A and B are shown apart, each in its own frame.
Chain A
């Protein structure tokens, strides 16, 4: 097909002929792509395959699980693990962090994108700098504080420290989105009699929805994947997030690490994220790279 089309077009200059002549040039990128896809997905595939094996053939290295089994998944959700509760806790923590971050961050991002004021660069620098601080430096003093005010094993003990990485992230992302929106939008709204606040609420927010949505996904994934804070601030199973619970699975078979159920749990925790990533890949990539709204 491709060759035909190229032949039909204008008599090819040297360059095109060279490209056509060598099959290596044509196939190399495809092979490269295949290698990348394999590199990214093979370990993930292995997790899924291991999850669907019967616990009795856990150590089989066959590429496809011979007798397909959901036993590992049943084990994961057995009451003693508290994994279902962990998922709910993860959802509560990550969801609250996302909402709080968006509400607080949106105003700041809009200010940084639209207003010109003296210490703007300094503020931008401060916000980006805060995201660089090592988590452990924040967790240790907060841990002591939270023990004193009896916040250990509460949701807020996980939510509040999580703002330290989620908020700078959201502000940066949203600032990029707001910058790309033409100023004329608000000006038009204000000519029509809106106050700046109204222009923000009634014109900007609806139009920025895709950007806000992308930021929400990215923040949510970051908060959902958080481990150190959730591990440090809790010691009761009923309040721990799914990540912490998976890492501490003891399993039913004694001392051995229950890899089967851990893989199954990994699949359960990851699948929603992977589905979100597949559906919104364009937006996520745009958000991660330039924060561009197409």
Chain B
């Protein structure tokens, strides 16, 4: 008799059949199990975003009264903080930071992608020394960005090794184009190998038969690369690139430590927001943060739209049912994400 009891309870909870179809019980269970994660994310992500939006409409603690004391309390100023961003000196500073952020993102991501793909192709061809390569490629990834920034600052020192090797006398990490270049070099060094790693994983999923068939058909090396390799690693590569783009858009550590704050040539939007917050001008800081957030969201949206078109078919077949078409499309775009979902770790930039 006692044997039957667990069988009954088992049937009441939701094994086998219930899992494959959507039903109330499963949904409730899923909701319960997901709630800790979603609550935490709501607290540490959603709340700050909304709060920044609200904060950006206020000004607080910025004014000093006649005696030089900070006036407490916040006043509603509407869109003044945003208007101020684009005007006069702050406007100049903002657009410089905006330009720097975009410039770093475009240059670094292009360089890293080209180098990363090249590395992946080499690693794919090499059978000897593969484990050495894999270990060494993880070293730049594992080094904290702060440490790599200091390392490159040391390399780019006035009488450092870079000038020594190049036979130049450039003051690298100070200001101007050379400061930009030093940031780009340091960022590329740290993350190109990582893209290489992700692309290599993509390459390894391409069956050898495909290449053999191409060979039989007399395809040249270049043709094989363009017509077979590239299209087949494209999904993994695109997601890796998206994550690198989003990561570089929020670049902070590297220019902050390598060159320093208040340097027009390398100041990024993140640094600008940090600087305002550091000086307790939370209203403008929140406005910068919101602008950067919208910028990142817009870039991500455009990219996912581009990307979604490609990955959609595959993911739709994999996930029958499951929400509206739009959701499916979004999820489709993100379906390849676990492969590269961790690119963000690589940067930490």
Q: Interface centre among A44, A110, A171, by most B CB within 10 Å?
A: A44
Chain A residues with a Cβ closer than 8 Å to the other chain, count: 111
Closest chain B CB from A234 CB (angstroms): 12
CA distance A36 to B195 in the complex (A): 13
Q: Which one of B141, B243, B290, B322 lies within 8 Å of A137 (CB-CB)?
A: B290
Q: Which of A114, A140, A164 contacts B41 (CB 8 A)?
A: A164
B33-A120 in contact (CB<8A): no
C-beta contact mask, B29-44 vs A, less than 8 Å → 1, else 0?
1110110111011011
| Nearest Cβ on chain A to B285's Cβ, whole angstroms | 5
A58 to B275, CA, bound (A): 33
Complex Cα distance, B270 from A221, in Å, reads 22
Q: Which A residues lie within 8 Å of B40 (CB)?
A: 104, 163, 167
The residues of B that contact A112 with a CB separation of less than 8 Å are 34
Min CB gap B304→A, angstroms: 10
Contact B48 A59 (CB under 8 A): no
Contacts of B274 in A (CB 8 A): 136, 139-140, 228, 232
From B88-96, B176-184, B332-340, the one touching the partner chain is B332-340
Q: How large is the interface on B (under 10, 10 to 19, 20 to 34, 35 or more residues)?
A: 35 or more
- Which residues from chain B contact A41 at a C-beta distance below 8 Å? 136, 139
Given contacts A43-B189, A108-B33, A141-B52, contact A32 B270 (CB under 8 A): no
Contact with A along B1-42 (1 / 0, CB 8 A): 000001001100111100111100011011101101110110
**Stretch with Cβ within 8 A of B (4 or more), from A3-11, A69-77, A204-212, A262-270:** A262-270
Given A59-B159, A270-B144, A137 contacting B136 (CB threshold 8 A): no
Inter-chain contact B136/A125, CB cutoff 8 Å: no
Segment from B106-114, B127-135, B223-231 that makes contact with A: B127-135
* Residues of A close to B344: CB separation below 8 A: 131-132, 165, 169, 222
Interchain CB contact under 8 A, B161 and A46: yes
- In the complex, A79 has a CB within 8 A of chain B: no
Specify which of A30, A40, A228, A266 is in contact with B129 (CB 8 Å cutoff): A30
List of B residues within 8 angstroms of A287 by Cβ = 342
Q: Does A15 contact B (CB under 8 A)?
A: yes
Q: Are A127 and B41 in contact (CB under 8 A)?
A: yes
Residue among A128, A165, A169, A244 with the highest chain B CB neighbour number at 10 A: A128
B122 lies within 8 A of A269 (CB): no
Which residue of A115, A173, A190, A281 contacts B26 across the interface (Cβ within 8 Å)? A115
B22 near A117 with CB under 8 A, answer yes
* A285 near B129: Cβ-Cβ < 8 Å: no
How many contacting A-B pairs (Cβ < 8 A)?
A: 354
What is the distance, in angstroms, from B315's C-beta to the closest C-beta of chain A?
9
Q: Which residue of A lies closest to B41 (CB)?
A: A130
By the criterion CB–CB under 8 Å, are A225 and B145 in contact?
yes
Q: Across the interface, which residues of A come within 8 angstroms of B331, CB to CB? A: 121-122, 124-125
Contact B26–A167 (Cβ < 8 Å): no
Query: A80 contacts the other chain (Cβ, under 8 Å)?
Result: no
Contacts of B319 on A, CB cut-off 8 Å? 121
Interface flag for B119 (CB, 8 Å): yes
CA distance A125 to B19 in the complex (A): 21
Cβ contact within 8 Å between A164 and B45: yes
B197 within 8 A of A: yes
Q: How far is the CB of B196 from chain A (nearest CB, A)?
A: 8
Contact partner of A228 (CB less than 8 A), chosen from B127, B136, B194, B252, is B252
Are A44 and B246 in contact, with the CB atoms below 8 A? no
Q: In the bound complex, what is the Cα–Cα distance between A67 and B246 (angstroms)?
A: 45
Does the CB pair B289–A43 fall under 8 Å?
no
A22 in the interface (beta carbon within 8 A) = no
Check B214 for interface membership: any CB of A closer than 8 A: no
Interface string of B262-295 (1 = CB under 8 A from A): 0000000110011001100010011011101100
Cα–Cα distance between A144 and B62 once the two chains are bound (Å): 14
Q: Are B348 and A222 in contact (CB under 8 A)?
A: yes
B341 touches A172 (CB 8 A): yes
Q: Give residues of chain B (301-337) contacting chain A, Cβ–Cβ below 8 Å.
A: 319, 322-323, 327-328, 330-331, 334, 337
A residues 187-207 in Cβ contact with B at 8 Å: 187, 190, 193, 195-196
When C-beta atoms are compared, the residue in chain B nearest to A129 turns out to be: B300
Known contacts A43-B152, A141-B52; A29/B257 CB under 8 A: no
- What residues of B have a CB within 8 angstroms of the CB of A23 in the complex? none
Cβ of A51 to closest chain B Cβ, rounded Å: 10
In the complex, the answer to whether B150 meets A246 with C-beta atoms within 8 Å is yes
Point out the residues of chain A lying under 8 angstroms from B31, CB to CB.
117
> Do A115 and B19 touch (CB < 8 A)?
yes
A137 touches B345 (CB 8 A): no
Contact B345 A169 (CB under 8 A): yes
Chain A nearest Cβ from B300, distance in angstroms = 6
Contact A269 B36 (CB under 8 A): no
With both beta carbons as reference points, the residue of chain A lying nearest to B125 in the complex is identified as: A29
Asked, given contacts A36-B137, A227-B146, A246-B146, whether A116 binds B293 with beta carbons under 8 Å apart, the answer is: no
Cβ distance A240 to chain B, nearest Cβ, rounded Å = 12
Indicate if the CB atoms of B157 and A266 lie closer than 8 Å.
no
Given contacts A30-B126, A32-B125, contact A133 B49 (CB under 8 A): yes
**10 contacting pairs across A/B (C-beta < 8 A):** A39-B189, A43-B140, A47-B151, A116-B21, A119-B323, A126-B38, A136-B288, A226-B348, A259-B150, A265-B147
